Structure 1
Amino acid sequence: MKRYLRKPLMLGVFLPAAVLTLGAFSYQPLKYSLPLELPQLTVSAEASLQELADISIPDYVYTIQSGDTLSTIFQTLSVSQKEMYQVLESDVSILALDTLKPGDKLGFWLKQGRLQKLELRFSPAHQVVFSKVADEAFEYDEVHVDGEWREQVVAGEINGSFYTSAKAAGLSAAEVQRVSALLQDKINFRRDLRAGDRFQVVRAEQFVDGQPTGNTRLEGLRVLNRARELTAFMFDGNYYDLNGESLARAFMRVPTKRQFRLSSHFNPYRKHPVTGRVRPHNGTDFATPIGTPILATGDGVVTRVTKHPYAGLYIVIEHGEKYKTRFLHLSKALVSKGQTVSRGQKIALSGNSGRSTGAHLHYELHINGRPVNAMKAPIPVADAVGDEDRVAFNALKERLLTQMSTTGNG
């Protein structure tokens, strides 16, 4: 997987193209952005506008509609199902196609009716591009633009449940869940909160070229529960309380009660056992019999429970802003999307679903968006902020507390 930053740069080239409408499907040719890494973006006298357009403009841009399937979209564009499965085979390393939702855009580049490139445009800050590298193979690039993060304070008072009060104040359902997960060991939100208790959250929203991307993160929060003050501050990707103690419990190294044989190790250059092509193996495979209980390796929130033709039934759990885990080839899921889970909780049964050479569990750990070797990578150990970072942490904490006190009527 390749990750790089790019800033959208529009080329002033317009070509006549028809706008096609077929039932619920709509296509809209549009200008497209090029990465900054490309040399010589200025159109020279010798440059062919048509050649430049072939690079920068997709043949079709499709906006996802409610009820769409990838198969029907490819059929409508007369792109073969064989090529769709070639893209899906590449997607097993990133599982991006399963995250498409109404409003997301697909860009198709075709050559003599055959797919050359497919871009998934989730937002101005996040795209995934599948490019043909051989007659029957695609590779992907994932593009992230950091953009600008703007902070705001969301504050409110308990009137009814915490969920309804926080939603009324302006937090999303996912953000309410995140607050609950962060403080789950400190307070029971259903039992302990009382009318009149207050909460304040510093939320950062991402913007690219002045436009919101829909991405947010929680920088800090405070819950004033009668005589208690509960806090959380994000520092270096992890959350800590007022005293710099970690709010995350230590991770488990393996997602099973006992150690199973490792049938395949993390290897970004592994040759695929079925196709024979070099494909990154972004996880660790455990030789688990079908039906083996699979455990969450850390506290978190389930963000995906779905099926993929190659990954099979799989689960994704996010553990704060920094960590994410994936569990593939399952036979049964025991949790649902949006559910908060605890370290050691049984979340699934292992299986042999999807493209698989035999019963096993494929387990992945991602840190800051990158797959890492889960058997060797540093994992959360519930340490407090180190002495060398205390000055920086205290400065961050005081800044966020001042924001919450000033704006949140603290």
Structure 2
Amino acid sequence: MQLRNTAKSALRIQGIPIKHLVALFLALLVILAAALWPGTDTNNAITERQTLVVSPIQDTPITPQIRYRTTTPAESTNANNTRNSTITTADSVELTRSEPQMLLESEEPQRLTDTIQPDTTATTEQQAVTEPTELEVKIAIDQGDTLSTIFDQVEIGQTTMYQILSADEQLLALDILRPGNILTFRKHPETLELDEMELYIHPGNQIIYRRVDADNFEYEEVINQGIWEQEIVAGEIYGSFYVSAIRAGLSKAEIHEINKLLGEQIDFNRQIQAGDRFQIVRNSQYVDDEFTGQTSIEGIRLQQRRNSYTAFLFEDGNYYDSNGESLTRAFRRNPHNQNFRVSSNFNPRRLHPVTGRVSPHNGTDFAMPTGTPIVSIGDGVVTRVENHPFAGRYVEIQHGSTYKTRYLHMHRIDVNRGDSIQRGQRIGLSGSTGRVTGPHLHYELHINGRPVNPMTANLPMATSVPQEQLADFNKRVDELVAIMEVAHEEQFAMRRDESQPGT
């Protein structure tokens, strides 16, 4: 009994119950077994899980991941030496094929679209550094374009636009921009301000507006006469004259001119018949073998069974029939019915009061009070009704193919574009619109596209060719008729061929 009591006392001296010692011993065995247990099974389990994710690599190739990044030239060179195959685009954006990577079970495969995340901020900054500002920009005029929208497109301020419009006041070339015209803007390489602007009208006519100082531009008109080639246009009328003329190769403007010249002799709506023939001799302008679109009608002949109607252009710029009788009604010298003082004469060499450079005055100014009636100097068609910031309200009238008049700074305009105008007809009232120092009329006369002095120009005042020039006129008519006869014989030959079987 004492021995049992003594042993029990010894264990109690340790202070640890037996059942606790047993539990501690078992825990040590478990820890030791875990530490010494081989890891082959665990690795195999992980490998098995990985194989479940990437197993398609045995059957179908993994779609390569694509990522964008901007690079410098040096980085692109180094990239060629890496394991990745890289395709560099023009924007220095690389499409990189990454090596397949093993994915853990906890990771989800990324979709292709999720990996395309271009760094737009870096790209924009890179472009701002590497792309130089364009110093020359060309804009081809399209239908509906205006000068204001074009200046906004090339990021040039409206102040500069008005400076150019001020220089263009004497030409008014920028008021009507047509499809096919080209505007070229050239900027200073340091200040990036507009140095000059070029208007390309056609190969024979360009206008350059150059900066003089911070506030002013001047213009230079570049004229290239090129070569004028004589052509014959012939046709036979089936249906209307208009459709037949278009089919033969005449333009709408040329058809309008023919109607006007022969309109007092024949009614094109009622008297034209199927089988009537026409021959037109015209000059066409070419510059470096390129057609400019500019033509001039030299002779017209419309042949019916019993009658023949003709018009021939003489050296004085007027049209006459084969007998020398004028087809152009006489012009008047002044565009008003009273005697007004000329306040500023036509002067192609006038110096600009600010810049001191040549700034032509292409018309004659009449000092007259606002509200004075303005009349057309001859028959014609209204081609422009505009409101210019410097020329003010103005009207342009085309008198045949040779003459054109302009009336500027008007207070009111009584006609519309496309209206037919008679000599002496009122077209509006004078005023002081635009940039003026007082009320007046600025009146211009253009002959064959060039401004001339309207007070001294040779205008058609007579009703027939002067007697002393009649011989020269008849010689000119014989030359044009000979050309028309060649075309006339070819028309008959074509008709005979078409009537033969099998043709």
TM beyond 0.5: yes
Matched, 1:406 2:483: no
1:96 is matched with: 173
1:27 is matched with: none
Shift of residue 115, structure 1, vs aligned partner = 1.6
Matched, 1:374 2:454: yes
SS at match of 1:82: helix
1:8-407 to 2 correspondence within 5 Å?
59-111=136-188, 112-236=191-315, 237-268=317-348, 279-382=359-462, 384-386=464-466, 389-407=469-487
* Partner AA of 2:310 in structure 1: T
Contact kept, 8 Å, 2:212 with 2:355, in 1: the verdict is: no
Shift of residue 183, structure 1, vs aligned partner = 2.3
Aligned equivalents of 1:331, 1:274: Cα separation in 2: 27
Contact kept, 8 Å, 1:148 with 1:207, in 2: the verdict is: yes
* Partner AA of 2:391 in structure 1: A
Contact kept, 8 Å, 1:247 with 1:382, in 2: the verdict is: no
Contact kept, 8 Å, 1:255 with 1:297, in 2: the verdict is: yes
Q: Which moved more, 1:94-103 or 1:314-323?
A: 314-323
* Partner AA of 2:170 in structure 1: S
Aligned equivalents of 2:310, 2:221: Cα separation in 1: 34
Report the RMSD for the aligned CA atoms in angstroms. 2.9
SS at match of 2:483: helix
SS at match of 1:303: strand
Taking a change above 3 Å as real, the CA distance of residues 336 and 220 of structure 1, as seen in their structure-2 partners, is farther
Aligned equivalents of 2:330, 2:410: Cα separation in 1: 25
Taking a change above 3 Å as real, the CA distance of residues 351 and 189 of structure 1, as seen in their structure-2 partners, is farther
Shift of residue 344, structure 1, vs aligned partner = 1.4
Post-superposition CA distance 1:123-166 (Å, at most 9, x none) = 11111111122332222111221122233322334444433333
Aligned equivalents of 2:389, 2:343: Cα separation in 1: 21
Aligned equivalents of 1:333, 1:160: Cα separation in 2: 38
Shift of residue 276, structure 1, vs aligned partner = 9.7
Taking a change above 3 Å as real, the CA distance of residues 271 and 211 of structure 1, as seen in their structure-2 partners, is closer
Aligned equivalents of 1:402, 1:278: Cα separation in 2: 47
Aligned equivalents of 1:164, 1:335: Cα separation in 2: 29
Aligned equivalents of 1:138, 1:126: Cα separation in 2: 19
Shift of residue 120, structure 1, vs aligned partner = 0.4
* Partner AA of 1:224 in structure 2: Q
Post-superposition CA distance 1:230-266 (Å, at most 9, x none) = 2111222332221223322221111122233434333
* Partner AA of 1:141 in structure 2: E
* Partner AA of 1:343 in structure 2: R
* Partner AA of 1:110 in structure 2: K
* Partner AA of 1:91 in structure 2: D
Gaps of 5+ in 2: 1-89, 91-133, 493-503
Q: TM-score, normalised by structure 1?
A: 0.77
Contact kept, 8 Å, 1:158 with 1:196, in 2: the verdict is: yes
Shift of residue 274, structure 1, vs aligned partner = 10
SS at match of 1:86: helix
Aligned equivalents of 2:250, 2:347: Cα separation in 1: 40
Aligned equivalents of 1:326, 1:373: Cα separation in 2: 13
Contact kept, 8 Å, 2:146 with 2:177, in 1: the verdict is: no
Aligned equivalents of 2:353, 2:361: Cα separation in 1: 11
1:53 is matched with: none
Post-superposition CA distance 1:373-406 (Å, at most 9, x none) = 3223332222644455445433332222122222
Aligned equivalents of 2:220, 2:355: Cα separation in 1: 21
Q: TM-score, normalised by structure 2?
A: 0.64
SS at match of 2:179: coil
* Partner AA of 2:286 in structure 1: F
Identify, as 1 or 2, the structure richer in helix: 2
Aligned equivalents of 2:216, 2:352: Cα separation in 1: 12
Equivalent residue pairs, number? 355
Contact kept, 8 Å, 1:78 with 1:113, in 2: the verdict is: no
Identify, as 1 or 2, the structure richer in strand: 1
* Partner AA of 1:187 in structure 2: I
Contact kept, 8 Å, 2:332 with 2:461, in 1: the verdict is: no
Post-superposition CA distance 1:88-137 (Å, at most 9, x none) = 01101011101311221111221122122111001111111111223322
**Larger RCO, structures 1/2 (Cα 8 Å, 6+ apart):** 1
* Partner AA of 1:103 in structure 2: G
Q: Which moved more, 1:239-248 or 1:82-91?
A: 239-248
SS at match of 1:354: coil
Q: Which moved more, 1:160-169 or 1:307-316?
A: 160-169
Q: Which moved more, 1:122-131 or 1:219-228?
A: 219-228
Contact kept, 8 Å, 1:162 with 1:189, in 2: the verdict is: yes
Aligned equivalents of 2:273, 2:372: Cα separation in 1: 42
Q: Which moved more, 1:104-113 or 1:371-380?
A: 371-380
Q: Which moved more, 1:359-368 or 1:213-222?
A: 359-368
Greater Rg over alpha carbons, structure: 2
Identity score, percent? 52
SS at match of 2:212: strand
Gaps of 5+ in 1: 1-17, 19-56
Contact kept, 8 Å, 1:240 with 1:246, in 2: the verdict is: yes
Taking a change above 3 Å as real, the CA distance of residues 201 and 337 of structure 1, as seen in their structure-2 partners, is farther
